Structure 1
């Protein structure tokens, strides 16, 4: 019997270890940073140590640690020279920050649909969205899988665009042997506590090969001033923010980074093990991984396929929600993520912006911008069908291993195969309740 119908849950509480995986070395790193934090000064040695370590890991010579991935992406957009009224191409299926970083520069996000296999930005759809206002492309490494950066790079170079990599969900993954964080002209990455490289709290990393872009991003980081390497003159050259990272978050992330490579290998193996275990289970589509890149499974996305169970006459949403209820009741954390494409969010549908319709109505933007999620059919379908495992509620990181993945698979097998009729009945009840 399904646990949602009164049966015993298949997984015991705590059977899957949460993320991040915290060791004594992490605890010592944070305590050492606490001891070194007075007298207060900037930049802290702990912060510069994180920057130097990310530079070494990615091969990007210029790195700045920030207080969030959102801040790091804003720094990248500003360093790309994006100005009011300029346009930046962004995938329609992503987290808001991949697009709101463009609004923070008073510029206009222009959305592009995503590839139906990888769920990353579709290079084949890029050029039709380019105008004489386009200045940059934000390529998101979604779920833990790098975008097709060589194809995107070829278009960006041909059209004179800056390629900004949003690496927030894929630290430790590689594309053609190159590490995430090094695949764009610049990159921004989140260190949010849930990420594959975690600061436990909040944090971010900006990286570039260009010294001038580094200088511009540094201004945005700290009040528009020129820093470091000289005494502060408290003279803002541009509009800047306070995007400095907390020293304890930097210390935790720096410690985690020492193990990122080995933790990523565990994630890759765990994801592959679960995909093998779910082979042939009807009603779901497991993620694909092209041969030229690795996946670190920040999320393990499952697309529901009720048609495979003969449920063509019932709404996909009813099956998705019933499956989520059943799986969660069995003790395996699963959830929806991004229930609609970003251009379907109220901010874009109503063009509210900063108020009075800015930046769209402020006189610099090309007239006629509007956002309709129906223009992005792949993203709409993915958002409709997607459920995700991952993060801390069903982590793919260590100390979880292949045995843990087998337990995840047992839950999905129970719900979709052994108790299929009960799941179908739950789907019918869910659909009836939604009418």
Structure 2
């Protein structure tokens, strides 16, 4: 019997360890930074140590730590020279910050559809979106899998575009032996508490190979100032922000970075074990990892496929089946969520195009006229959003100390829900379809 209807859950409370994995060396690092934090000055030693360690890990010589991945993305867009009216290509299926960083430069995001298997930007759809206003591509390493950088690099080089890597979800992943964070012209990564490299609170990392881009990003980081040497001249050259990272967050992230290769190896092994264990379970499609790439499973995305069970859309809509699976899996003690229920261009910000007010940046006189965001132009992203459920983050982490035994428990949940108790789940889906209306994005 399903736990949802009174049965015993497969996974007992406390059996899955949360993320991040905190050890004594992390506590020692934070306490050490606390002891070194006075007298207050900038940059703090813990911040410089984190920047140096990320530079060493990625091979990117110029690194700045920021107070969020969103801030780091804004710094990257600004350092790439994006100005008002410029256009930047962004995947239609991503987190908002991959696109809002473009708006922060008073520039215009132009969305590109994604690949149904990798969930990443589809290179075959990129060039049709390039105009004479296009200045950059934001490539997102979604879920923990690097984007297809070789074809994207070829396109970017041919058109003279910056290739900005959004590595927020992929610390520790590799693309043909090269680490995430070093795959674009310049990169930004998040250190949000849930990320594969965590600051426990909030944080971010900007990285580049170019000294001038580093200088420009540093202006954005700190009030528009030039920061000659170690002093300040309190002279803002541009519109800047206060994007400085908290010293204790930097210390925690630096400590975690020392174990990132070990933790990434566990994530890869756990993801592979879970995929193997789900091979015989119908109704869901596990993630794909292309040859030459490694996946670190910030999210472990699943696409529901009721048609594999012989269920027609008219009988059991995909959205209703998805919601039934979500409810049943959660009741069995395995945290699963519906992440990003719609493509970014379908969000209200882009549908209403109010921007900063009065329609800026689209109506501020620099942008190409006629921009509109039509969700139907991104059918693959729409289909992914309609079918997707994800494991991961802290609620069902694939990171250590969870291991392959934990993954067997995860797989047992899906076997129970979609094999042993399939009829009950289908009945639940029919009931949801009968009781609720779903829009085109499968939102009730």
Correspondence for 2:414: 412
Distance (whole Å) between structure 2 residues aligned to residue 297 and residue 413 of structure 1: 21
Distance (whole Å) between structure 2 residues aligned to residue 407 and residue 365 of structure 1: 52
- C-alpha displacement of 1:137: 0.3
SS in 1 for 2:136: strand
Compute the RMSD of aligned alpha carbons. Answer: 0.6
Correspondence for 1:349: 351
SS in 1 for 2:300: strand
SS in 2 for 1:354: coil
Distance (whole Å) between structure 1 residues aligned to residue 420 and residue 124 of structure 2: 41
SS in 1 for 2:146: coil
SS in 2 for 1:143: helix
Cα distance per residue 1:387-412 (max 9 Å; x no partner): 00000000000000000000000001
Cα distance per residue 1:361-408 (max 9 Å; x no partner): 000000000001110000000000000000000000000000000000
Q: Which structure 1 residue ranges, 4+ long, deviate > 4 Å from structure 2?
A: none
1:240-319 correspondence to structure 2 within 5 Å: 240-312=240-312, 313-319=315-321
Correspondence for 2:174: 174
Correspondence for 1:231: 231
- C-alpha displacement of 1:228: 5.3
Conserved? CA contact 2:287–2:302, under 8 Å: yes
Q: Structure 1: which 5+ residue stretches go unaligned?
A: none
- C-alpha displacement of 1:430: 1.0
Conserved? CA contact 1:302–1:386, under 8 Å: yes
Match for residue 365 of structure 2 among 363, 366, 371: 363
SS in 1 for 2:143: coil
Conserved? CA contact 1:4–1:326, under 8 Å: yes
- C-alpha displacement of 1:230: 3.9
1:3-402 correspondence to structure 2 within 5 Å: 3-227=3-227, 229-312=229-312, 313-402=315-404
Conserved? CA contact 1:43–1:228, under 8 Å: no
Distance (whole Å) between structure 2 residues aligned to residue 150 and residue 221 of structure 1: 30
Conserved? CA contact 2:227–2:233, under 8 Å: no
Distance (whole Å) between structure 2 residues aligned to residue 228 and residue 302 of structure 1: 49
Q: Structure 2: which 5+ residue stretches go unaligned?
A: 438-444
Q: Report the TM-score when normalising by structure 1.
A: 0.99
Distance (whole Å) between structure 1 residues aligned to residue 166 and residue 225 of structure 2: 25
Distance (whole Å) between structure 1 residues aligned to residue 385 and residue 111 of structure 2: 15
Match for residue 430 of structure 1 among 427, 432, 440: 432
